[in-house]
């Protein structure tokens, strides 16, 4: 049995017409001889009646603190509604289709409610239905603990569901259908002439996704990569093949040898706060750095852009965590210079390691646009620049242009 997993994002399912377009993608694959597993997200975005954010706001209306376990029960409803409504399209067209919740599909997670991790997949029920020639529609973004409590997988979690099912079922392809025609050299909402990449390696998209390219959840890539299951990011509304995510070696036969490009794309993450802490202003400076980082870890604050100097520690946190972080530093007896409203703009490319002149080109591009660089960091695949949020879009466009990515 050759299996294909096809995932449809919330924006692909908002209207009856769109759901028919989505269903057609499944039917085309069925005609090609595939056994079909369809994964769906909740319908629409914030404001739409059953979108995840709408459900969260509903719960928080009377009390902002929602018990995570109960919140997950509520959030499970969004994808279930979506799955049943899409099932109606198939049965209406005369196809045999069935809906499984994440739990029924055998997606077992840990107990980290609202951010659960998939521990394993028991695909028997899916396989039984596929053998009966049914289209199996699985509610994405959800799972169940060993104790039987329902969980959700965090934002973008339906991508992870699709990928995990792809691995468990040894699928030929996992197709991620969305509102753009593939993975692009930058977010098309910012860079209008961003180019769609024909092929990209797991590593490249992992970097892009971790650095803010929300088109694919990084966890989904990591899972698919373990078993080399090819992912494709495609448009629900167009007829192109989209972007193939695969291994470097597997791309040789294609037109574009992705490993030859210096830069893959430009990404951005807004809403970041920079904290500068002067450690020499304290009486006893010994071990202060350790104290700072330990305290952040204990409070579950994730930190980024870390620079430690003899008399100064600099790092960034999410704007949402800034107040908490500032308090923690005060409690240690230190003061922080706080700069909220920053953004991280990254140039990502698997081949920039050791190539001279990349950094100077970045600085040139930003300087030409009068954008102040607040901090930088680099790894063998990425150069990060911290800029003010109001400079973010300008910086993405400038870097995209400087490296001729369009
Ligand atoms: P879905 O609801 O289908 O999961 P998402 O909103 O999660 O859709 O992902 C698609 C969006 O990702 C696009 O509309 C696009 O604005 C955004 N995006 C960000 N970076 C990129 C990129 N490099 N390539 C393509 N899309 C991107
Ligand atoms: Mg998504």
Per residue in 230-280, pLDDT (tens digit) is 999 999 999 999 999 998 665 545 544 445 688 999 999 999 999 999 887
Does a structural domain hold residue 256? no
pLDDT value at position 405?
95
What gap in Å lies between CA 77 and CA 83, rounded to an integer? 10
Check whether 353 has a pLDDT greater than 90. no
User: Are residues 199 and 296 part of one domain?
Assistant: no
pLDDT value at position 297?
95
Does a structural domain hold residue 30? yes
User: Are residues 161 and 41 part of one domain?
Assistant: yes
3-class DSSP state for residue 28?
helix
User: Are residues 124 and 47 part of one domain?
Assistant: yes
Each residue's pLDDT tens digit, 23-80: 999 999 999 999 999 999 999 988 899 999 999 999 999 999 999 999 999 999 999 9
pLDDT value at position 135?
98
Q: Which of 25, 46, 178 to mutate to test the pocket of ligand 1 (most atoms within 8 A of CB)?
A: 178
Check whether 98 has a pLDDT greater than 80. yes
Q: Domain boundary at 181, 216, 246, which?
A: 246
Q: Which of 215, 218, 345 to mutate to test the pocket of ligand 1 (most atoms within 8 A of CB)?
A: 215
What gap in Å lies between CA 10 and CA 78, rounded to an integer? 10
Q: Which of 39, 79, 180, 231 to mutate to test the pocket of ligand 1 (most atoms within 8 A of CB)?
A: 180
Q: How confident is the model at residue 141 (pLDDT cuts 50, 70, 90)?
A: very high
CATH number at residue 82: 3.40.1160.10
- What separation in angstroms does the CA of 53 have from each of 58, 78, 82, 149, 282? 9, 10, 15, 21, 44
Does a structural domain hold residue 42? yes
Check whether 116 has a pLDDT greater than 60. yes
User: Are residues 131 and 274 part of one domain?
Assistant: no
User: Are residues 132 and 85 part of one domain?
Assistant: yes
User: Are residues 148 and 15 part of one domain?
Assistant: yes
Nearest to 139 by CA among 89, 90, 87: 87
Nearest to 113 by CA among 146, 161, 64, 70: 70
- 81 CB-side CA count, 13 A: 17
Does a structural domain hold residue 258? no
pLDDT value at position 380?
87
Average pLDDT of the chain is: 94
User: Are residues 326 and 208 part of one domain?
Assistant: no
Please name the residue whose Cα sits nearest to atom 12 of ligand 1.
215
Does a structural domain hold residue 257? no
Percent of the chain past pLDDT 70, that is, above it, reads 95
User: Are residues 238 and 188 part of one domain?
Assistant: yes
pLDDT value at position 285?
65
Q: How confident is the model at residue 389 (pLDDT cuts 50, 70, 90)?
A: very high
Q: Domain boundary at 194, 216, 246, which?
A: 246
User: Are residues 60 and 18 part of one domain?
Assistant: yes
Residues in the chain: 406
- 376 CB-side CA count, 13 A: 14
User: Are residues 271 and 241 part of one domain?
Assistant: no
| Token output for 128 | 């039984």
pLDDT value at position 84?
98
Least confident of 103-112, 142-151, 325-334: 325-334
pLDDT value at position 288?
86
Q: Which residues contact 207 (CB under 8 A, 6 or more apart)?
A: 264, 348, 350, 381, 382
Report how far ligand 1's centroid is from the alpha carbon of 213 (Å). Answer: 7
Check whether 284 has a pLDDT greater than 90. no
Cβ proximity of 79 and 55 under 8 Å: no
Cβ proximity of 363 and 314 under 8 Å: no
Cβ proximity of 302 and 318 under 8 Å: yes
Q: Domain boundary at 211, 246, 281, which?
A: 246
Does a structural domain hold residue 233? yes
CATH number at residue 332: 3.30.2130.10
Tally of domains in the chain: 2
Q: Within 6 Å (CB) of ligand 1, which residues are found?
A: 9-12, 41, 156, 178-180, 183-184, 186-189, 208, 213-215, 265
Q: How confident is the model at residue 222 (pLDDT cuts 50, 70, 90)?
A: very high
Does a structural domain hold residue 254? no
Percent of the chain past pLDDT 90, that is, above it, reads 87
pTM (2 d.p.): 0.92
Check whether 169 has a pLDDT greater than 70. yes
Report how far ligand 1's centroid is from the alpha carbon of 323 (Å). Answer: 30
Cβ proximity of 40 and 7 under 8 Å: yes
User: Are residues 152 and 72 part of one domain?
Assistant: yes
User: Are residues 304 and 214 part of one domain?
Assistant: no
Please name the residue whose Cα sits nearest to atom 2 of ligand 1.
9
Does a structural domain hold residue 346? yes
Nearest to 279 by CA among 339, 334, 322: 334
- Residue 31 structural domain: 3-246
Least confident of 125-129, 328-332, 364-368: 328-332
């Amino acid at each position: 049995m050759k299996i294909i997993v096809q995932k449809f994002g919330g924006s692909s399912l908002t209207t009856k017409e769109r759901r028919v377009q989505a269903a057609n993608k499944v039917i085309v694959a069925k005609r090609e001889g595939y056994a079909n597993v369809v994964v769906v997200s909740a319908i629409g975005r914030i404001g739409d009646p059953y979108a995840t954010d709408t459900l969260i706001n509903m719960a928080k209306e009377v009390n902002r603190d929602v018990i995570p376990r109960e919140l997950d029960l509520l959030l499970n409803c969004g994808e279930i509604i979506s799955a049943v409504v899409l099932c109606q399209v198939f049965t209406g067209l005369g196809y045999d289709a069935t809906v499984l919740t994440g739990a029924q599909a055998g997606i077992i997670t840990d107990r980290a409610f609202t951010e659960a991790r998939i521990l394993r997949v028991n695909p028997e029920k899916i396989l039984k239905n596929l053998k009966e020639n049914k289209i199996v529609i699985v509610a994405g973004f959800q799972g169940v603990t060993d104790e039987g409590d329902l969980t959700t997988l965090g934002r973008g979690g339906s991508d992870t569901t699709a990928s995990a099912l792809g691995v468990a079922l040894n699928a030929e392809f996992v197709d991620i259908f969305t509102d753009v025609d593939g993975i692009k050299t930058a977010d098309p909402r910012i860079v209008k002439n961003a180019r769609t990449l024909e092929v990209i390696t797991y590593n490249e998209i992992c970097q892009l996704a971790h650095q803010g390219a929300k088109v694919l959840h990084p966890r989904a890539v990591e899972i698919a990569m373990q078993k080399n299951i090819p992912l494709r990011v495609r448009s629900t509304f167009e007829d192109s093949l989209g972007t193939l995510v695969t291994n470097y070696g597997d791309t040789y036969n294609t037109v574009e040898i992705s490993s030859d490009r210096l830069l893959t794309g430009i990404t951005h993450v807004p809403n970041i706060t920079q904290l500068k802490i002067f450690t020499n202003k304290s009486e006893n400076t010994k071990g202060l750095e350790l104290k700072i980082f330990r305290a952040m870890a204990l409070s579950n604050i994730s930190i980024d852009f870390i620079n430690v100097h003899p008399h100064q520690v600099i790092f960034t946190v999410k704007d949402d965590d800034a107040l908490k972080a500032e308090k923690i530093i005060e409690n240690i007896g230190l003061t922080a210079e706080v700069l909220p409203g920053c953004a991280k703009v990254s140039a990502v490319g698997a081949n920039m390691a050791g190539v001279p002149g990349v950094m100077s080109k970045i600085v040139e591009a930003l300087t030409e646009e009068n954008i102040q660089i607040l901090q930088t960091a680099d790894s063998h695949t990425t150069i990060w620049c911290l800029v003010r949020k109001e400079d973010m879009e300008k910086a993405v466009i400038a870097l995209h242009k400087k490296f001729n990515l369009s």
